[in-house]
Amino acid sequence: MKEDAYEADETTKVSNKSAHNGFSINRKFVNAKGYHDKFRQLSLPRPVQEALYQSSMKILDHRNATQLEDLYAIDARTGTVITQNCCQATPFHTGFNTIQYQSILNHGSKIILLHNHPSSTRPSITDINTLANEPSVTCSIVIGHDASVQVISIPVRGPKVDSIFHFWYTAGKAAGWPSQEAKLRATDYVYAKGAVHYEKY
C-alpha cells in the first residue's frame, strides 16, 4: 500500500453517539493521527499495522458506550482478517465459537488476536492464558476505550504462566483473600515475574 493511501485511511473515525457514560470512547484521541501512529510503532509488517488499526476503529465504533467486546483474529504476516466475533452479548467477555475457532485452525498460519476492553484495563489472565496455550497466536492486542493500545506476547524462554498464577492464587486464597482479589494479585505476579512481555502505547 502506498504512503498516501495510509494517510487517506486516517479519515476513519469513530462516530458520535448520543449515549455517554464511563465506557464511551475517547473520540478526541481515537480520531486523531496520534492513535493511528500507535499502530505504526508495532514491530509488525505495514499491512498488518494497518489492518489492526482499521479493525480497532471498527471495534471501537461498534462497542462505543457499551460494556461489550469484539474479538478479531488477524493474519500476522498479511493482515487478513481470518474471523471475528462481533455478536457477544455478555459484558466484559468475548471468545470464538466452534466454527470460528476451526477457521483459525484451518488457516494454519500465525495470527494476532485483537479485542477491546471497555474499562481500558490491562490484558487479563484469560487473555494471557489464551496467548500462552495457543501456539498459533504470536501476540494479543487489547484496545481500551481510553485510546490505549496494549500488547502482550510470551517470551521464547521464561517462566510458565500457569505455574506462577496458580502458586500465587493458592497462596492468596490461603491468606484469606477473596477469589477476585487473589486472581488479580496472582496476575500481578505473572506480569512481575516476566512470564508475559507487556507494552502499552
- pLDDT at position 9 is 56
pLDDT given at position 74: 98
* Per-residue pLDDT at 159: 77
pLDDT at 53: 98
Report the candidate in 80, 27, 91, 19 with the shortest Cα–Cα distance to residue 54: 80
Report d(CA 49, CA 61) in Å as an integer: 18
Q: In which residue ranges of the chain is pLDDT below 50?
A: 1-8
Query: For residue 114, what pLDDT is reported?
Result: 98
3-state SS, 37-102, equals: HHHHCCCCCHHHHHHHHHHHHHHHHHHCCCCCCCEEEEECCCCCEEEEECCCCCCCCCCCCHHHHH
161-193 pLDDT tens trace: 999 999 999 999 999 999 999 999 999 999 999
Question: Which domains are present in the chain?
Answer: 20-154+196-200 (3.40.140)
CB-CB contact of 101 with 130 (8 Å): no
Q: Report pLDDT for 11.
A: 66
pLDDT at 19: 80
